[in-house]
Amino acid sequence: MSRTRLRVAAALAAVLVAAGIATGPAAQAHDRQPTLAELAQRHGRYFGSATDNPELTDPAYTRLLGSEFDTITPGNGMKWYATEPQQGVFDWTEGDQIVHLAREHHQRVRAHTLVWHSQLPDWLTSRTWTAPELRAVLKKHIQTEVRHYRGKVYSWDVVNEAFNEDGSYRETIWYKTLGPGYIADALRWAHQADPGAKLYLNDYNIEAVGPKSDAYYTLARELKAAHVPLDGIGFQAHLALQYGYPGTLEENLRRFSRLRLDTALTEVDVRMQLPATDEKLAEQATWYADLTTACLAVRRCVGITIWDWTDKYSWIPAVFPGEGAALPWDDQLAPKPAYFALRAALGHRE
């Protein structure tokens, strides 16, 4: 190449880079697409993903987990079976791994979960307890765990899945032994242990207005009236195409906002009967967009968390045989129509 030609080529390259249409590492850095988290931040919201310890050995997986989201939730690592496997013996290995990972990537942690009927250790479920004994066990667990993560997590799902579909209390070990007051107690103990953490009640099938979400509404109003430290309600949003979209989601979020509570979509996925067709994936994309639009429309809906980001690590196929394809990225980690629908709903023009 002659000198003149070299100069022309260099000038042309500079113009292309300035116009943002050149390729190469510098241009890529310049051109980088905003992440879901960055798009959500423009609306004052977060966009998060759940994760789980075994997956963290997959470098392609952790790379995207660390870059696309600003909030992460441990799918299992902070549950009772993992954190207090023997009575009074605490193990923070899994939860700490996720907190450290989040810190490395400047992400916040939605901590999950303190009081649940599931994934409890055998020592707790294999014997009977008097009410005073169980109360002491619960208080110690909550306060030890919340104190350990004090200042390191953004929020706690304090009580998970406390109601039945008809709005009656679920007959858990907690309810049966301690009565409904265990919920207020749990919130108060958690608040004492970390006054800075946002405290949530969290459940599934409460996205639409109905008996189960009404039960939360009534309870939340009572707790607020009694000055119990409750900050928000988590709507898990494990949706399924075959059951229809919860059309009253926005209205439902709004009534909790009016109680001066935050709301969040905490475990979003949209499963379908397999095989996934283009039509079903398009329908799924619409649902992801619609739930995002609903959250953005309600001032106190603070953010959205998907229940992991790739179909490769989704919980669905193991629990609902024949169903899956529930997340915005497929099992090869490639983005699906739902991913682009999320970006569009967050206001990005491709």
Active site residues: 161, 267
The minimum distance between CB 309 and ligand 9MR, in angstroms, equals 13
Range list of β-strands (E), the chain: 46-51, 71-74, 108-115, 155-160, 198-203, 232-235, 238-240, 262-273, 301-306, 323-324
Q: Is 18 exposed, middle or buried (0-12, 13-18, 19+ CB in 10 A)?
A: exposed
Largest CA distance in the chain: 90
CB contact burial 257-270 (16+ within 10 A = b; e otherwise)? eebebbbbbbbbbb
Residue written as tokens 């250790």? 121
Cβ nearer to ligand 9MR, comparing 49 with 160: 160
Decide: 238 and 295 in contact? Cβ < 8 Å: no
Decide: 190 and 114 in contact? Cβ < 8 Å: yes
Tell me how many degrees the CA angle 318-320-324 measures, rounded to the nearest 5. Answer: 80
Cβ nearer to ligand 9MR, comparing 28 with 119: 119
Mapped onto helix, strand or coil, the DSSP state of residue 261 is coil
Cβ nearer to ligand 9MR, comparing 76 with 107: 76
Which residues lie near ligand 9MR (CB under 6 A)?
52, 75-76, 118-119, 160, 204, 236, 267, 315
The minimum distance between CB 173 and ligand 9MR, in angstroms, equals 16
User: For residues 184 and 220, what is the distance between their CA atoms, to the nearest angstrom?
Assistant: 10
Q: C-alpha dihedral over 305, 141, 152, 288, to 10 degrees?
A: 0
Cβ nearer to ligand 9MR, comparing 160 with 292: 160
Cβ nearer to ligand 9MR, comparing 110 with 255: 110
Cβ nearer to ligand 9MR, comparing 28 with 242: 242
The minimum distance between CB 136 and ligand 9MR, in angstroms, equals 25
